Amino acid sequence: MEIHQPIAYNKLSDEGNRVLKGFGVIKYHILLLFVFCGSSLAQLTRYVDKAQFVDAVPPIVATESFEDLATDASSAQRNTIELAQVTISTLDTSLSVHNTPEYGQQPTDGSQYVRISGGDEPGGREITFDFITPVNWFGLNIIDWGDGTVNGSGELVARVDCTEYIDITQGTKPDGNVTFFGFSSNNPFDCITIYNDIPTDSWAIDELYFATPEPATAVIFAAGTLMLARRRKK
């Protein structure tokens, strides 16, 4: 397992982007990031390997493969999917639940998945996950994203509560590709938004993971954050 030293990263910072690309984020299993939310310092551990993510988290509080949802007869039927512990939403009715593989989209666990349909409006598409109880771990499979990019210009990013960004993936992908995206944070969060800047591209999600730390893990996180804050003051 390869672990690299934390770096200060902000989507709005050209220097942060340059350094992040220099490390080749997609090539590594884990990248430690610091995200500055106002005056608080959040330490994020980013995972691109699902097995390592699952091994690292405490006992999973919840996993969701959408098996209990009623399926839709066609695409783009919903703007909200309400689950027991999280609500998934988009700004329009671009969500739908399916149990038949098509367009390169298929379930990665069980028989059902959620599709986010493409459209013609500018500005890309957002999908938001609002948690009833704040969590410290988040992960999911992203399916068939990026096969409609033009000259590799597409980008998929996530925003945590404070609107700071984490790159998920970019460029042109093959039809039916699966990308795992996961991270943990020492600061609990209750909202994640994934932003797709290719508005015409349809893609899907499955195997949603989210968890909160065990008490001992929470103490370690808190101690680490305090130590980092003290170092910054020196």
Q: Give the pLDDT confidence score for residue 62 in this predicted structure.
A: 83
One DSSP character per residue, 81-112 reads EE-SSEEEE-SSS-EEEESS-BTTB--SSSS-
Confidence category of residue 132, pLDDT binned at 50, 70, 90: very high
Question: CA dist 41 to 11, 51, 228, Å?
Answer: 16, 27, 8
Angstrom distance (rounded) from CA 161 to CA 91: 17
Averaged pLDDT of the chain = 77
Lowest mean pLDDT among 27-31, 104-108, 156-160: 27-31
Output the pTM of the full model: 0.75
Residue 230 neighbours by CB under 8 Å, 6+ apart: none
> Is the pLDDT reported for residue 16 higher than 60?
no
Assign domain 48-212 to its CATH architecture: Sandwich (2.60)
pLDDT in tens, 194-221: 998 888 889 999 999 999 876 544 444 4
pLDDT tens, position by position, 20-37 = 344 344 333 334 443 434
Residue 17 has pLDDT above 50, yes or no: no
